[in-house]
Structures are given as structure tokens and as C-alpha cells.
Amino acid sequence: MAKPNMFNVERMIAVVAAEHRFILKPDDAAFALVTMNRLVLEESLEAIRAVVNQDLAQFKDTAQWAHSRAQSAIEEEVRRSSRAIREELQRDLNNARLRAAEIVQEVKETYEKPMARMDLIIMILEAVILFIIAFVMGRASARP
């Protein structure tokens, strides 16, 4: 399909005449060369566009792949970190639970501990003293 001339022939004739003092006619063979040159440039430009578009599509695919890989890596790291935090919290809870159980056991042992010998001796002495006081008071109140 023929493209219309994309250049101004009259302007070209005027510029060539002014710069080179050479007169061209609109049907001169030089314009055929200009047209051929334009066609070669257009085809080259189309080939370059095709390569650039192909490279751009490949770049987009690579960027999407890299984004997907980065997203997967971040998701995995978040899962791993969450799992580590959860495990650490569970360890802390278990340690706190064990420590609380130890404290409860210590308190329970303290209150359930059998009476020591010294405590028993003190209680017997108190009972004997109370008995003596009661006996002395009983005798004192029995005298007329």
C-alpha cells in the first residue's frame, strides 16, 4: 500500500536550490531515492519497534515473575516469623504455667508440712502450764 509523501517537495526543491544552486524538478530521480530512503527508514523503524515491543513484553513478564517471587518469599517469611513468635509465646506460657505450679506446690507443702518437734514441745508446755494454772485456780476457789 502506497503511503502519501510525507515531505514537502516544493520546500525540498527550494532548499536544494538555495544551498547547492542545483535545480530539481518534482519528477526528478532524486525524489525516488528520497522515497526509497524513507521506505527503508520506515521498515527499519518498524523492525526496531517490533524488537522494542518484544523486549518490553519480556520485561513485563520478568517483572511480573519477580514480583510474584518476591511476594511468595515475603509471605513465606511472614508465615515463618509468625510461627516462630507463636512458638516463643507458647514456650513463655508453658514456663509461666510451670512456675505457677511450682509456687502453688511450695505453698501447699508449707501448709501441709507436719508439725516440727519444736512446735510439738511448745504446745505440750503450753498445755501443762494451762493445766497447772487451772489446777491452782481450782484449789484456790475450793478453799473456804
Task: Give the largest Cα separation in the chain, rounded.
Answer: 171
Q: Where are the domains of the chain?
A: 9-113, 115-144
Q: What pLDDT shows up at residue 14?
A: 92
pLDDT in tens, 35-84: 899 999 999 999 999 999 999 999 999 999 999 999 999 999 999 999 99
Q: What pLDDT shows up at residue 1?
A: 45
Q: What pLDDT shows up at residue 3?
A: 56
With 80 as the cut, is the pLDDT of residue 111 above it? no
Q: What are the grid coordinates assigned to 97, written together?
A: 504455667
C-alpha to C-alpha distance for 78 and 49, rounded to whole angstroms: 42
Handedness of CA 12, 14, 20, 25 (dihedral sign): positive
Percent of the chain with pLDDT over 90: 59
With 90 as the cut, is the pLDDT of residue 130 above it? yes
Q: What pLDDT shows up at residue 139?
A: 85
pLDDT in tens, 2-41: 455 567 888 988 998 999 988 888 888 888 888 899 999 9
With 50 as the cut, is the pLDDT of residue 119 above it? yes
